Amino acid sequence: MAIFTSLMAVVLLCSCSSKVYLFTSFHEPADQGLRMLYSYNGYHWTDLDTVFLKPSIGNQKVMRDPSMVQGPDGIFHLVWTSSWRGDKGFGYASSKDLIHWSDEKMIPAMEYEPNTVNVWAPELFYDDASKQFIIIWASAIPGRFEKGIEPDSNNHRIYVTTTKDFQSFTPTRLFLDPKFSVIDCVILKKGQHDYVLVLKDNTRPERDIKVAFSNSALGPYTNVSKPFTEQFTEGPAVVKVKDNWLIYYDSYRKSIYGAAITHDFVNFRDITNEVSVPKGHKHGTILTVKKKIVKHLIKYSKQG
């Protein structure tokens, strides 16, 4: 009876909820393109098993770390890492239905810095307070910052630009310098004037995930926490489920996706054994979409 009740609860959730969670994804070696997972409860994920957008720009023409948000007008905006090294910007495309996409273009956000080594993991955040999109990413510029244990070519800081239309962008500026090499940042709005930045401390002693805090989406972010994941973890993706926040992360030495849960970003609990993420999934972001959109994607993936 208990098993039957649990199954009925899942069925009711799937049939009654008008929202579904969508997780952008890619598979190594990242040359195939955009993949997506979906979930009805935020804990258990299904791979749509289809490539929705193939990379066509950048020196390496890859699509790593795809980050996506849906704007107030319903249009989806996607940014991604287009090369490991050499590119002075990141890829961008948009879509109304996640199946038909605009032409891909390079947003040359670091072209003003000729010594930029890379542009990694651009992350989108729509700031409803200022009605603009914020894009943050990690870049290494040799000789720019205090040298750590890692080589200068791996000494990253986070940069930012903003836009309202993805046609014009504010001048790129430094977003976060925590005095150590940092990558893979995600902005979250926890409440009014209450923002959290989830980040990877990429220094050799650490290579784990921490959080920092601000009263503004654009920072400054301070009070960097102690790590709440083990070493060799990266690519955090965060989703709010009821009153809790689930933080997914790539445990790359173990070749699995782990997860932690928190309600206050102070206390964290490892729930890796309570979630299921398809094998091969890599660094993406999670958003909530209407159920009919995922139904359409499921139909399309079966046809493909």
Instruction: Say whether 264 sits in a helix, a strand or coil.
Output: coil
- Terminal-to-terminal C-alpha distance of the chain: 39
Express each pLDDT in 189-233 by its tens digit: 999 999 999 999 999 999 999 999 999 999 999 999 999 999 999
> So what's the pLDDT on residue 304?
67
- Pairing type for strands 105-107 and 208-214 reads unpaired
- Pairing type for strands 120-127 and 105-107 reads unpaired
Express each pLDDT in 130-143 by its tens digit: 999 999 999 999 99
What Rg do the C-alpha atoms of the chain give, in angstroms? 19
Cα 95 from chain centroid?
18
Instruction: For 136-195, give the DSSP string.
Output: EEEEE-TTSS---SS-GGG-EEEEEEEESSSSS-PPPEEEE--SS-EEEEEEEEEETTEE
Q: Which long-range contacts (CB under 8 A, 24 or more apart) does 92-101 make?
A: 92/166, 93/53, 94/166, 95/53, 97/293, 97/296, 98/36, 98/52, 98/293, 98/296, 98/297, 99/52, 99/296, 99/297, 99/300, 101/52, 101/53
Domains and CATH numbers, the chain: 19-303 (2.115.10.20)
Global pTM value? 0.94
Residue 289 structure tokens: 């979409």
- Compute the distance between CA of residue 188 and CA of residue 180 in angstroms, rounded to an integer: 21
| Residue-level pLDDT, tens digit, the chain, 304 residues | 443 333 334 444 444 578 999 999 999 999 999 999 999 999 999 999 999 999 999 999 999 999 999 999 999 999 999 999 999 999 999 999 999 999 999 999 999 999 999 999 999 999 999 999 999 999 999 999 988 888 999 999 999 999 999 999 999 999 999 999 999 999 999 999 999 999 999 999 999 999 999 999 999 999 999 999 999 999 999 999 999 999 999 999 999 999 999 999 999 999 999 999 999 999 999 999 999 999 999 999 988 6
